[in-house]
Structure 1
Amino acid sequence: MDRDERIARESVVTAARDLDAQGLNRGTSGNVSVRFRDRILITPSGLPTARMGPDDIVPLAFDGTHPAGLKPSSEWRFHRDILAARPEIGAVVHAHPIHCTAFALCGREIPAVHYMIAAFGGPNVRCAPYAPYGTAELSELALAALKDRNVCLLANHGMIAAGATIEKALWLAVELETLCWQYAVALQVGAPNILSDHEINSTVERFRGYGLNAVDKG
């Protein structure tokens, strides 16, 4: 393992721990991957982040193979498929944060209740239909929900955020959970006002190139 690979592996461990630290994940349910050279570096299956180190990160080829004795996350397939289908994406984060998952449990998309939804690429956040975890079917549904977007919900499951860098993917995951939390509270207050597609599409363009807020073009 050379220095660049160790740095990339450490970034995956740091992001996985950040998911826990920011309350987006609990236990061993979340997973993180990053594109590295001709393969993917992904968190292992069933290992708590407190016990995870760079040597535990699994190098995964795009054909799905990996070194013997190492077991990638059970969700490796949609990580691999997103990175294969979207060359502008460099990292993928998956987690089960409370508010994102609550809307996913109801199979509900998130409408444009706040202009920050533009950071996700368009006027809504789609919710992919349910399919069992780790399956090719779930991967296909996730890819469809991510069309022209960089986040989505997974029905009865959780969320996905994908960014050009691992820092961007994690930032998007936090922003999505924040938006879902705001929407959940607003629904208790009354009927949230929905911004127009025109307004959000205009904001998408204004966000492009604006620091970490820059929208990944899908």
Structure 2
Amino acid sequence: MDAQERTAREGVVAAARDLDALGLNRGTSGNVSCRFGGGLLITPSGVPTRDLTAEAIVPMGLDGSHPAGVKPSSEWRFHRDILVARPEIGAVVHAHPVYSTAFAMCGQDIPAVHYMIAAFGGPSVRCAPYAPYGTEALSHLALDALEGRSCCLLANHGMIASGSDLTRAVWLAQELETLCHQYAVARQVGTPQILSDAEINETVERFRGYGLNAAR
């Protein structure tokens, strides 16, 4: 592999390890991909993050093709389909963090209980209906839930975060888990107040052009 590809592969490894370090993933759960060349690079199936190397990252074509003898993540389909459908997206992360997954297990959308929901593109984070992991059906449902959004929940499963690059996708995954944690605690304290669509749309506009650390 050339230097450019090695750097991209190392970025995928680093992002996967960041998910673990941030408490968003553990063991072999979750997966990471980034756009590269005419296809994508994705974490392999069943390899613990601690054992990942640049050489283990799997190159795939947008037609789903990959070199013989290597096995991409079982969730490669929605990674590929998101990158095909959304040319502005350069990276996708999938994880099973506690609070996001708890709401996914309940099949609940996350409403506009904090203005940071605007970082995900609109006044809610949708929860896609359940479909078995790795299936075309799950990919279609995820794409629907991601329309106009950068993140979604997957019922009885976990979450997806996408961004222009790996750094932003991981950041959004962390922000979504933080929001879900806050929402869970707020529901124990009382009844969270929901911001209006107009209030969130105003924040969406204010976020445009901001860096990763959008005004808080």
TM bracket, shorter-chain basis: over 0.9
The reply to whether residue 168 of structure 1 matches residue 168 of structure 2 is yes
Normalising by structure 1, what TM-score?
0.97
> By how many angstroms is 1:73 displaced?
0.1
Say whether the 8 Å CA contact 1:161–1:170 is kept in structure 2: yes
> By how many angstroms is 1:78 displaced?
0.1
Tell me the secondary structure at the aligned position of residue 161 of structure 2. strand
User: What percent identity do the matched residue pairs reach?
Assistant: 75
Which amino acid in 2 is paired with 1:38? G
Tell me the secondary structure at the aligned position of residue 211 of structure 1. coil
Task: Report the Cα distance in structure 2 between the residues aligned to 1:49 and 1:26, rounded to whole angstroms.
Answer: 8
Task: Report the Cα distance in structure 1 between the residues aligned to 2:106 and 2:49, rounded to whole angstroms.
Answer: 29
Say whether the 8 Å CA contact 1:107–1:155 is kept in structure 2: yes
Deviations 1:147-175 (A, max 9, x none): 00000000000000000010000000000
Say whether the 8 Å CA contact 1:152–1:161 is kept in structure 2: yes
Matches within 5 A, 1:10-21: 10-21=10-21
> By how many angstroms is 1:211 displaced?
1.0
Say whether the 8 Å CA contact 1:40–1:80 is kept in structure 2: yes
> By how many angstroms is 1:212 displaced?
1.6
Which residue matches 2:44? Answer: 44
Which residue matches 1:187? Answer: 187
Tell me the secondary structure at the aligned position of residue 17 of structure 2. helix
> By how many angstroms is 1:93 displaced?
0.3
The alignment covers a number of residue pairs equal to 214
Tell me the secondary structure at the aligned position of residue 41 of structure 2. strand
Which amino acid in 1 is paired with 2:150? N
Which residue matches 1:26? Answer: 26
Tell me the secondary structure at the aligned position of residue 212 of structure 1. coil
Unaligned runs of 5+ in 1: none
Which residue matches 2:68? Answer: 68
The reply to whether residue 145 of structure 1 matches residue 145 of structure 2 is yes
Which residue matches 2:7? Answer: 7
Unaligned runs of 5+ in 2: none
> By how many angstroms is 1:45 displaced?
0.2
Task: Report the Cα distance in structure 2 between the residues aligned to 1:150 and 1:163, rounded to whole angstroms.
Answer: 7
Say whether the 8 Å CA contact 1:119–1:213 is kept in structure 2: no
Which residue matches 1:178? Answer: 178
Tell me the secondary structure at the aligned position of residue 88 of structure 1. coil
Which amino acid in 1 is paired with 2:171? W
Over the aligned positions, Cα root-mean-square deviation in angstroms equals 0.7
Which residue matches 1:208? Answer: 208
Tell me the secondary structure at the aligned position of residue 205 of structure 1. helix
Say whether the 8 Å CA contact 1:76–1:134 is kept in structure 2: yes
> By how many angstroms is 1:213 displaced?
4.7
Task: Report the Cα distance in structure 1 between the residues aligned to 2:213 and 2:9, rounded to whole angstroms.
Answer: 24
